[in-house]
Amino acid sequence: MRDEGAEQGALSAAELFDGLGLDYEKAFGQLPEQRAAVDWLTARLAPGSRVLDVGSGTGRPVAELLVHAGHEVTGIDVSATMVELARQQVAGARFEQCDVRDFTPPEGGYAAVCAFFPLLMMTRAEASAALRRMSTWLAPGGYLVSATVPADVEDVEIVWMGRQARVSSFSAADYVRLLREDCGLDILHESVSVFRPAEASAGPEEHLFCYARRGATTAAPRPAVSP
C-alpha cells in the first residue's frame, strides 16, 4: 500500500474514507450523472464482460449496478472500511484493498474501467500516471468511464465533509486532453454538471464526466512509471 499519511493534519485517502464509511454513500450514492454513466456503459458491453471499478467505495451504486447487469466486477479501494462494506453489500463482485498505483490487472485486461473520483487526493503527476496506467488495462475497444472535480489546483488543503484533506485536480480541458493525448483514447462524451450532496457537511460540487474508448485496432500506450 502506498497511502501514506498526509502532512499538516490532512488525512490520507485511506484515513478519510475509513472515517466516512456509509456516510459517503448517503451523501453521494444518488448521483444522477454517475448512474447515467453506468447505464451508458452497460448498454455497450457484451454479457459477462470483465469490469474494474477503481475507488469502488461501498460498492454502491457502481459495482452493484454492474453486477445486476450481468458483468464480472472487481473493485479496488485504498480504504479497508470501504472494502469491507462493499463485500457485505455487493456479494456478486470481488473487492480488494489496493491502490490503483500498485494494482496489477489480469491477462487480457478489462472490457471497461470505471474511475469515479479516485484521483483527487493524489498529486497531478500521480493522477496523470494513474490515468495512463488504467488506459493500458483496457482491451481493444474497451471503455474508460470516469469522473472528477474539475479545478486548476495542486496540493491544496481543504475541509471536506468535516475532514481535512490535500487535493489536486485538473481543469476540465486539461483532464480531457490527458485522456486524449497522453492516454490515446477517443473521447465519446464529456459533460460538466453541479451536484448537491444529501449531506449538510458536503457542499455543492462541480463534476466532469468523461466516456472514452481505446481504439479497436490501436495499441495501448506504454504503461507510465509511477512517480
Q: What's residue 40's pLDDT?
A: 98
Q: Considering only CA atoms, which of 178, 116, 122 is closest in space to residue 149?
A: 116
pLDDT at residue 225 in the model:
43
- Alpha carbon 70 to its chain centroid, in Å, reads 20
Report the alpha-carbon distance of residue 113 to residue 141 in Å, rounded. 12
217 pLDDT more than 90: no
DSSP H stretches of helix in the chain: 13-20, 22-28, 32-42, 62-68, 80-89, 124-136, 172-177
pLDDT of residue 197: 86
Q: Are strands 110-116 and 50-54 parallel, antiparallel or unpaired?
A: parallel
pLDDT at 2 over 80: no
What is the residue-averaged pLDDT of the chain? Answer: 92
Contacts of 212 (CB under 8 A, 6+ apart): 143, 144, 145, 146, 179, 180, 183, 185, 186, 187, 188
**Measured between alpha carbons, how far is 172 from 149 in angstroms, rounded to an integer?**
8
In tens, the pLDDT along 54-106 reads: 999 999 999 999 999 999 999 999 999 999 999 999 999 999 999 999 999 99
CB 148 within 8 A of CB 225: no
Q: What percent of the chain has pLDDT over 90?
A: 85
Confidence tier at 6 by pLDDT (50, 70, 90): very low
CATH number of 13-213: 3.40.50.150
Phi, psi of 5 (to 5 degrees): -65, 145
Question: Is pLDDT at 137 greater than 80 in this prediction?
Answer: yes
The stretch 138-151 carries a mean pLDDT of: 98
- Would you state the pLDDT for residue 227? 39
What is the share, in percent, of the chain residues with pLDDT greater than 70?
91
pLDDT band at residue 1 using 50, 70 and 90 as cut-offs: very low
Q: What is the pLDDT of residues 154-212, one digit of tens each?
A: 999 999 999 999 999 999 999 999 999 999 999 999 999 999 887 777 778 999 999 99
The 10 Å Cβ neighbour count of residue 46 is 8
Sign, CA torsion 138/142/148/154 = positive
Write down the pLDDT at residue 7: 42
pLDDT at res. 9:
79
For the chain, the domains span 13-213
In whole angstroms, how far apart are CA 149 and each of 5, 26, 118?
Answer: 22, 19, 10
- DSSP E strand boundaries for the chain: 50-54, 72-77, 94-97, 110-116, 138-148, 153-160, 163-169, 186-195, 205-213
